[in-house]
Chains A and B, each alone.
Chain A
Protein backbone atom coordinates (compact mmCIF):
# COMPACT_ATOMS: atom_id res chain seq x y z
CA UNK A 1 0.00 0.00 0.00
CA UNK A 2 1.34 3.40 -0.97
CA UNK A 3 0.32 6.95 -0.30
CA UNK A 4 -1.13 9.59 -2.54
CA UNK A 5 -0.77 13.28 -1.66
CA UNK A 6 -1.38 13.96 2.05
CA UNK A 7 -4.54 16.05 2.39
CA UNK A 8 -5.86 15.39 5.88
CA UNK A 9 -4.27 15.90 9.28
CA UNK A 10 -6.04 13.79 11.88
CA UNK A 11 -5.34 14.81 15.46
CA UNK A 12 -6.05 12.35 18.25
CA UNK A 13 -6.28 14.51 21.37
CA UNK A 14 -6.20 11.58 23.76
CA UNK A 15 -7.76 8.35 24.95
CA UNK A 16 -9.73 9.94 27.77
CA UNK A 17 -13.43 9.35 27.14
CA UNK A 18 -16.68 9.54 29.08
CA UNK A 19 -17.77 6.24 27.51
CA UNK A 20 -16.12 2.81 27.26
CA UNK A 21 -17.63 1.54 24.04
CA UNK A 22 -17.29 -2.20 23.60
CA UNK A 23 -15.98 -1.90 20.04
CA UNK A 24 -13.38 0.79 20.78
CA UNK A 25 -10.11 0.16 18.98
CA UNK A 26 -8.31 2.56 21.34
CA UNK A 27 -9.82 1.14 24.55
CA UNK A 28 -10.68 4.71 25.49
CA UNK A 29 -12.39 5.39 28.79
CA UNK A 30 -12.70 7.61 31.86
CA UNK A 31 -9.46 6.33 33.47
CA UNK A 32 -7.12 6.81 30.51
CA UNK A 33 -4.24 9.18 31.33
CA UNK A 34 -3.25 9.97 27.72
CA UNK A 35 -4.30 13.59 27.14
CA UNK A 36 -2.69 15.83 24.54
CA UNK A 37 -0.96 18.84 26.12
CA UNK A 38 -1.23 22.42 24.97
CA UNK A 39 2.49 22.24 24.04
CA UNK A 40 1.78 19.46 21.55
CA UNK A 41 -1.28 21.28 20.27
CA UNK A 42 0.85 24.37 19.62
CA UNK A 43 3.20 22.15 17.56
CA UNK A 44 0.18 20.90 15.61
CA UNK A 45 -1.05 24.43 14.91
CA UNK A 46 2.46 25.30 13.71
CA UNK A 47 2.49 22.22 11.47
CA UNK A 48 -0.92 23.10 10.05
CA UNK A 49 0.32 26.61 9.23
CA UNK A 50 3.34 25.28 7.34
CA UNK A 51 1.58 22.64 5.22
CA UNK A 52 -1.59 22.91 3.15
CA UNK A 53 -4.06 20.44 4.50
CA UNK A 54 -7.53 20.50 2.97
CA UNK A 55 -8.98 18.95 6.13
CA UNK A 56 -8.09 18.83 9.80
CA UNK A 57 -9.93 16.09 11.67
CA UNK A 58 -10.01 16.09 15.48
CA UNK A 59 -10.72 12.79 17.19
CA UNK A 60 -10.07 10.92 20.46
CA UNK A 61 -11.27 9.34 22.95
CA UNK A 62 -13.77 12.10 23.50
CA UNK A 63 -12.15 15.31 22.20
CA UNK A 64 -14.58 17.31 24.34
CA UNK A 65 -12.79 16.05 27.45
CA UNK A 66 -9.48 17.64 26.48
CA UNK A 67 -9.24 20.94 28.38
CA UNK A 68 -7.60 22.74 25.43
CA UNK A 69 -9.92 21.57 22.65
CA UNK A 70 -11.43 25.01 21.96
CA UNK A 71 -8.02 26.67 21.67
CA UNK A 72 -6.84 23.90 19.32
CA UNK A 73 -9.92 24.35 17.15
CA UNK A 74 -9.46 28.12 16.98
CA UNK A 75 -5.78 27.65 16.18
CA UNK A 76 -6.10 25.10 13.35
CA UNK A 77 -9.27 26.52 11.82
CA UNK A 78 -7.24 29.33 10.23
CA UNK A 79 -5.09 26.83 8.31
CA UNK A 80 -7.51 24.45 6.61
CA UNK A 81 -10.79 25.03 4.79
CA UNK A 82 -12.47 22.05 6.47
CA UNK A 83 -12.38 21.27 10.18
CA UNK A 84 -13.96 18.04 11.44
CA UNK A 85 -14.79 17.23 15.05
CA UNK A 86 -15.60 13.62 15.86
CA UNK A 87 -17.98 13.16 18.75
CA UNK A 88 -19.75 10.39 20.63
CA UNK A 89 -22.57 12.96 21.22
CA UNK A 90 -22.94 12.02 24.92
CA UNK A 91 -19.78 14.04 25.68
CA UNK A 92 -21.46 17.15 24.23
CA UNK A 93 -24.03 17.25 27.03
CA UNK A 94 -24.09 19.84 29.75
CA UNK A 95 -23.82 23.60 30.11
CA UNK A 96 -20.03 23.44 30.03
CA UNK A 97 -20.22 22.29 26.40
CA UNK A 98 -22.35 25.23 25.20
CA UNK A 99 -19.19 27.21 24.42
CA UNK A 100 -17.95 24.29 22.30
CA UNK A 101 -21.26 24.08 20.42
CA UNK A 102 -21.21 27.81 19.72
CA UNK A 103 -17.61 27.56 18.49
CA UNK A 104 -18.55 24.67 16.19
CA UNK A 105 -21.34 26.81 14.75
CA UNK A 106 -19.12 29.89 14.34
CA UNK A 107 -16.22 28.01 12.73
CA UNK A 108 -18.63 25.87 10.65
CA UNK A 109 -17.06 22.73 12.04
CA UNK A 110 -18.21 19.51 10.38
CA UNK A 111 -19.47 17.27 13.18
CA UNK A 112 -19.05 13.52 12.64
CA UNK A 113 -21.08 11.75 15.32
CA UNK A 114 -21.25 8.09 16.26
CA UNK A 115 -24.68 6.48 16.22
CA UNK A 116 -24.45 2.71 15.86
CA UNK A 117 -28.17 2.00 15.65
CA UNK A 118 -31.62 3.58 15.74
CA UNK A 119 -32.81 1.01 18.25
CA UNK A 120 -32.11 1.91 21.88
CA UNK A 121 -31.10 -1.48 23.26
CA UNK A 122 -28.98 -2.25 20.21
CA UNK A 123 -27.16 1.09 20.44
CA UNK A 124 -26.63 0.76 24.19
CA UNK A 125 -25.25 -2.78 23.85
CA UNK A 126 -22.26 -1.06 22.23
CA UNK A 127 -22.11 2.30 24.02
CA UNK A 128 -23.61 1.79 27.46
CA UNK A 129 -26.81 2.56 29.34
CA UNK A 130 -28.26 6.02 28.88
CA UNK A 131 -26.18 6.78 25.79
CA UNK A 132 -29.03 6.52 23.29
CA UNK A 133 -31.42 9.10 24.77
CA UNK A 134 -28.48 11.43 25.39
CA UNK A 135 -27.43 11.05 21.74
CA UNK A 136 -30.95 11.84 20.52
CA UNK A 137 -31.10 14.94 22.72
CA UNK A 138 -27.75 16.25 21.44
CA UNK A 139 -28.66 15.55 17.81
CA UNK A 140 -31.80 17.65 18.31
CA UNK A 141 -29.68 20.39 19.94
CA UNK A 142 -27.33 20.37 16.94
CA UNK A 143 -30.32 20.64 14.58
CA UNK A 144 -31.57 23.59 16.68
CA UNK A 145 -28.19 25.27 16.11
CA UNK A 146 -28.68 24.88 12.38
CA UNK A 147 -26.77 21.67 11.72
CA UNK A 148 -28.09 19.68 8.74
CA UNK A 149 -30.58 22.37 7.78
CA UNK A 150 -30.54 23.60 4.18
CA UNK A 151 -28.65 26.80 3.64
CA UNK A 152 -26.77 26.97 6.95
CA UNK A 153 -23.60 25.28 5.67
CA UNK A 154 -23.44 23.37 8.96
CA UNK A 155 -22.73 19.73 8.21
CA UNK A 156 -23.68 16.89 10.54
CA UNK A 157 -22.67 13.39 9.53
CA UNK A 158 -23.28 10.11 11.32
CA UNK A 159 -21.05 7.06 11.62
CA UNK A 160 -22.63 3.69 12.24
CA UNK A 161 -20.53 0.73 13.30
CA UNK A 162 -22.22 -2.68 13.57
CA UNK A 163 -23.17 -3.65 17.11
CA UNK A 164 -21.45 -7.00 16.90
CA UNK A 165 -19.42 -9.43 14.81
CA UNK A 166 -21.15 -8.78 11.51
CA UNK A 167 -20.47 -6.70 8.44
CA UNK A 168 -21.91 -3.22 7.99
CA UNK A 169 -24.88 -3.16 5.66
CA UNK A 170 -25.01 -1.30 2.37
CA UNK A 171 -24.30 2.33 3.22
CA UNK A 172 -26.97 3.81 0.96
CA UNK A 173 -29.76 1.61 2.32
CA UNK A 174 -28.66 2.16 5.91
CA UNK A 175 -28.54 5.93 5.38
CA UNK A 176 -32.08 5.87 3.96
CA UNK A 177 -33.34 3.83 6.92
CA UNK A 178 -31.64 6.07 9.51
CA UNK A 179 -32.96 9.17 7.73
CA UNK A 180 -36.52 7.87 7.71
CA UNK A 181 -36.60 6.68 11.34
CA UNK A 182 -34.69 9.62 12.86
CA UNK A 183 -37.01 12.06 11.11
CA UNK A 184 -40.25 10.24 11.87
CA UNK A 185 -39.54 9.34 15.48
CA UNK A 186 -37.46 12.29 16.69
CA UNK A 187 -37.57 14.96 13.93
CA UNK A 188 -33.78 14.67 13.60
CA UNK A 189 -31.96 15.61 10.39
CA UNK A 190 -28.43 14.78 9.29
CA UNK A 191 -26.42 15.13 6.10
CA UNK A 192 -24.66 11.83 5.44
CA UNK A 193 -24.26 8.47 7.12
CA UNK A 194 -21.08 6.41 6.89
CA UNK A 195 -21.20 2.73 7.65
CA UNK A 196 -17.85 1.28 8.76
CA UNK A 197 -16.74 -2.19 9.80
CA UNK A 198 -15.48 -2.72 13.33
CA UNK A 199 -11.71 -3.05 13.35
CA UNK A 200 -10.52 -6.28 15.04
CA UNK A 201 -8.19 -4.64 17.57
CA UNK A 202 -8.47 -3.26 21.10
CA UNK A 203 -11.63 -3.90 23.07
CA UNK A 204 -13.44 -5.32 20.06
CA UNK A 205 -10.73 -7.93 19.46
CA UNK A 206 -10.87 -9.00 23.10
CA UNK A 207 -14.62 -9.43 22.78
CA UNK A 208 -14.21 -11.32 19.47
CA UNK A 209 -11.79 -13.69 21.21
CA UNK A 210 -13.88 -14.20 24.35
CA UNK A 211 -17.12 -14.71 22.38
CA UNK A 212 -15.56 -17.18 19.94
CA UNK A 213 -16.26 -14.86 17.00
CA UNK A 214 -12.69 -13.97 15.96
CA UNK A 215 -12.06 -16.55 13.22
CA UNK A 216 -15.52 -16.14 11.68
CA UNK A 217 -15.21 -12.34 11.76
CA UNK A 218 -11.76 -12.29 10.11
CA UNK A 219 -13.11 -14.67 7.45
CA UNK A 220 -16.03 -12.26 6.86
CA UNK A 221 -13.69 -9.27 6.56
CA UNK A 222 -11.40 -11.06 4.12
CA UNK A 223 -14.38 -12.48 2.21
CA UNK A 224 -15.83 -9.00 1.81
CA UNK A 225 -12.59 -7.58 0.46
CA UNK A 226 -13.48 -4.90 -2.07
CA UNK A 227 -10.58 -3.89 -4.34
CA UNK A 228 -12.46 -0.69 -5.21
CA UNK A 229 -12.29 0.35 -1.55
CA UNK A 230 -8.48 0.40 -1.74
CA UNK A 231 -8.39 3.71 -3.58
CA UNK A 232 -10.40 5.52 -0.95
CA UNK A 233 -8.91 4.18 2.29
CA UNK A 234 -7.97 7.05 4.57
CA UNK A 235 -4.34 6.05 5.16
CA UNK A 236 -3.48 6.96 1.58
CA UNK A 237 -4.03 10.67 2.15
CA UNK A 238 -4.05 11.11 5.91
CA UNK A 239 -1.39 11.89 8.51
CA UNK A 240 -2.41 10.90 12.03
CA UNK A 241 -0.91 12.55 15.12
CA UNK A 242 -1.21 10.85 18.51
CA UNK A 243 -1.77 12.53 21.89
CA UNK A 244 2.02 12.70 22.39
CA UNK A 245 2.79 14.08 18.94
CA UNK A 246 4.02 10.87 17.27
CA UNK A 247 2.94 10.13 13.72
CA UNK A 248 0.89 7.29 12.23
CA UNK A 249 -0.73 6.38 8.93
CA UNK A 250 -4.19 6.14 10.56
CA UNK A 251 -5.99 6.02 13.91
CA UNK A 252 -6.00 2.20 13.90
CA UNK A 253 -2.23 2.03 13.45
CA UNK A 254 -2.05 4.63 16.25
CA UNK A 255 -4.02 2.23 18.47
CA UNK A 256 -1.49 -0.53 17.70
CA UNK A 257 1.52 1.83 17.94
CA UNK A 258 2.46 0.99 14.36
CA UNK A 259 4.33 4.16 13.31
CA UNK A 260 3.90 6.04 10.05
CA UNK A 261 5.67 4.18 7.24
CA UNK A 262 7.19 1.86 9.84
CA UNK A 263 9.54 4.49 11.35
CA UNK A 264 8.81 6.22 14.68
CA UNK A 265 8.82 9.98 14.13
CA UNK A 266 7.56 12.97 16.08
CA UNK A 267 5.54 15.77 14.53
CA UNK A 268 8.39 18.22 15.16
CA UNK A 269 10.64 16.12 12.90
CA UNK A 270 8.29 16.57 9.94
CA UNK A 271 10.06 18.85 7.49
CA UNK A 272 7.87 17.77 4.60
CA UNK A 273 4.70 15.76 4.21
CA UNK A 274 5.04 12.07 3.29
CA UNK A 275 5.43 11.88 -0.46
CA UNK A 276 3.07 10.23 -2.91
CA UNK A 277 4.39 6.67 -3.29
CA UNK A 278 5.59 6.40 0.32
CA UNK A 279 4.91 3.04 1.97
CA UNK A 280 2.02 2.67 4.43
CA UNK A 281 2.34 0.35 7.43
CA UNK A 282 -0.28 -2.42 7.11
CA UNK A 283 -1.37 -5.50 9.05
CA UNK A 284 -4.31 -7.94 9.29
CA UNK A 285 -6.62 -5.33 10.84
CA UNK A 286 -6.51 -3.46 7.52
CA UNK A 287 -9.08 -5.89 6.11
CA UNK A 288 -11.68 -3.89 8.07
CA UNK A 289 -11.07 -0.86 5.88
CA UNK A 290 -11.16 -2.80 2.63
CA UNK A 291 -14.42 -4.62 3.39
CA UNK A 292 -17.55 -3.45 1.63
CA UNK A 293 -17.75 0.29 1.16
CA UNK A 294 -14.38 0.89 2.82
CA UNK A 295 -13.33 3.45 5.41
CA UNK A 296 -12.82 7.16 4.97
Chain B
Protein backbone atom coordinates (compact mmCIF):
# COMPACT_ATOMS: atom_id res chain seq x y z
CA UNK B 1 0.00 0.00 0.00
CA UNK B 2 1.44 3.41 -0.94
CA UNK B 3 1.57 5.97 1.84
CA UNK B 4 3.55 9.14 2.56
CA UNK B 5 4.74 7.86 5.96
CA UNK B 6 6.94 4.77 6.31
CA UNK B 7 8.06 3.74 9.84
CA UNK B 8 11.50 2.70 8.56
CA UNK B 9 12.12 6.30 7.41
CA UNK B 10 12.62 7.41 11.02
CA UNK B 11 16.00 5.64 10.94
CA UNK B 12 17.01 7.89 8.02
CA UNK B 13 16.60 11.15 9.97
CA UNK B 14 20.40 11.64 10.16
CA UNK B 15 20.67 11.63 6.35
CA UNK B 16 19.23 15.15 6.30
CA UNK B 17 22.77 16.26 7.21
CA UNK B 18 23.89 15.48 3.66
CA UNK B 19 22.20 18.59 2.31
CA UNK B 20 23.66 21.04 4.87
CA UNK B 21 26.13 19.37 7.23
CA UNK B 22 26.98 22.41 9.39
CA UNK B 23 23.37 23.28 10.06
CA UNK B 24 22.55 19.63 10.84
CA UNK B 25 25.41 19.48 13.33
CA UNK B 26 24.14 22.62 15.08
CA UNK B 27 20.62 21.22 15.17
CA UNK B 28 21.48 17.74 16.46
CA UNK B 29 23.93 19.09 19.07
CA UNK B 30 21.18 21.38 20.34
CA UNK B 31 18.59 18.58 20.16
CA UNK B 32 20.72 16.19 22.22
CA UNK B 33 21.46 18.91 24.76
CA UNK B 34 17.75 19.66 25.11
CA UNK B 35 16.95 16.05 25.97
CA UNK B 36 19.81 15.49 28.41
CA UNK B 37 18.99 15.31 32.10
CA UNK B 38 18.84 18.82 33.57
CA UNK B 39 16.41 20.39 35.99
CA UNK B 40 13.89 18.02 34.41
CA UNK B 41 14.61 14.30 34.24
CA UNK B 42 14.97 12.48 30.91
CA UNK B 43 11.62 10.81 31.63
CA UNK B 44 9.87 14.15 32.19
CA UNK B 45 11.35 15.54 28.98
CA UNK B 46 10.26 12.47 27.01
CA UNK B 47 6.70 12.88 28.31
CA UNK B 48 6.70 16.55 27.29
CA UNK B 49 8.07 15.60 23.87
CA UNK B 50 5.35 12.99 23.52
CA UNK B 51 2.67 15.56 24.33
CA UNK B 52 4.14 18.06 21.86
CA UNK B 53 4.39 15.31 19.22
CA UNK B 54 0.63 14.87 19.50
CA UNK B 55 0.03 18.61 19.40
CA UNK B 56 1.98 18.95 16.14
CA UNK B 57 0.84 15.49 14.96
CA UNK B 58 4.25 14.27 13.90
CA UNK B 59 4.10 10.48 13.40
CA UNK B 60 7.89 10.17 13.54
CA UNK B 61 7.99 11.88 16.94
CA UNK B 62 5.03 9.89 18.25
CA UNK B 63 6.84 6.66 17.31
CA UNK B 64 10.19 7.76 18.77
CA UNK B 65 8.86 9.27 21.98
CA UNK B 66 6.43 6.47 22.77
CA UNK B 67 9.42 4.16 22.78
CA UNK B 68 11.53 6.68 24.70
CA UNK B 69 8.88 7.14 27.40
CA UNK B 70 8.62 3.37 27.90
CA UNK B 71 12.41 3.02 28.03
CA UNK B 72 12.61 5.73 30.67
CA UNK B 73 10.15 3.97 32.95
CA UNK B 74 6.88 5.61 31.95
CA UNK B 75 3.68 3.71 31.20
CA UNK B 76 0.48 4.01 29.15
CA UNK B 77 -1.38 5.72 31.99
CA UNK B 78 1.20 8.54 32.28
CA UNK B 79 1.56 8.81 28.52
CA UNK B 80 -2.20 9.06 28.01
CA UNK B 81 -2.41 11.86 30.59
CA UNK B 82 0.37 13.67 28.74
CA UNK B 83 -1.62 13.45 25.51
CA UNK B 84 -4.61 14.90 27.33
CA UNK B 85 -2.44 17.82 28.40
CA UNK B 86 -1.66 18.48 24.73
CA UNK B 87 -5.36 18.10 23.90
CA UNK B 88 -6.43 20.47 26.65
CA UNK B 89 -3.97 23.13 25.52
CA UNK B 90 -4.89 22.79 21.85
CA UNK B 91 -8.59 22.88 22.65
CA UNK B 92 -8.08 25.64 25.14
CA UNK B 93 -6.15 27.70 22.61
CA UNK B 94 -9.21 27.67 20.34
CA UNK B 95 -11.65 28.29 23.13
CA UNK B 96 -9.77 31.22 24.70
CA UNK B 97 -9.87 33.06 21.37
CA UNK B 98 -13.56 33.12 21.98
CA UNK B 99 -12.73 36.14 24.14
CA UNK B 100 -11.78 37.93 20.87
CA UNK B 101 -15.07 36.86 19.34
CA UNK B 102 -16.98 38.17 22.30
CA UNK B 103 -15.02 41.46 22.20
CA UNK B 104 -15.80 41.99 18.49
CA UNK B 105 -19.41 40.84 18.83
CA UNK B 106 -19.80 43.10 21.83
CA UNK B 107 -18.53 46.13 19.88
CA UNK B 108 -20.68 45.47 16.85
CA UNK B 109 -23.84 44.54 18.63
CA UNK B 110 -26.55 46.75 20.06
Listed in ascending order, the chain A residues whose CB lies under 8 Å from chain B are 117-119, 121-122, 162-164, 166-170, 173-174, 176-178
Contact = CB atoms under 8 A, between A and B. Distances in A.
A167 B42 contact: no
A170 B70 CA distance: 12
17 contacts: A117-B73, A119-B75, A119-B78, A121-B77, A122-B75, A122-B76, A162-B70, A163-B70, A167-B71, A169-B42, A169-B71, A169-B72, A170-B42, A173-B42, A173-B43, A174-B72, A176-B41
B76 A121 contact: yes
A182 to B, nearest CB: 12
Interface of B: 37, 41-43, 67, 70-73, 75-78
Majority secondary structure, A binding face: loop
Contacts of B71: 162, 166-169
B43 A119 contact: no
Contact of A169 (B73, B76, B77): B73
A117 B75 contact: yes
A122 B76 CA distance: 8
Contacts, number: 40
B16 to A, nearest CB: 19
B73 A174 contact: yes
Contact of B73 (A121, A164, A173): A173
A118 to B, nearest CB: 8
B70 A164 contact: yes
Contacts of B73: 117-118, 169, 173-174, 177-178
A176 B78 CA distance: 17
Nearest to A181: B73
A224 to B, nearest CB: 10
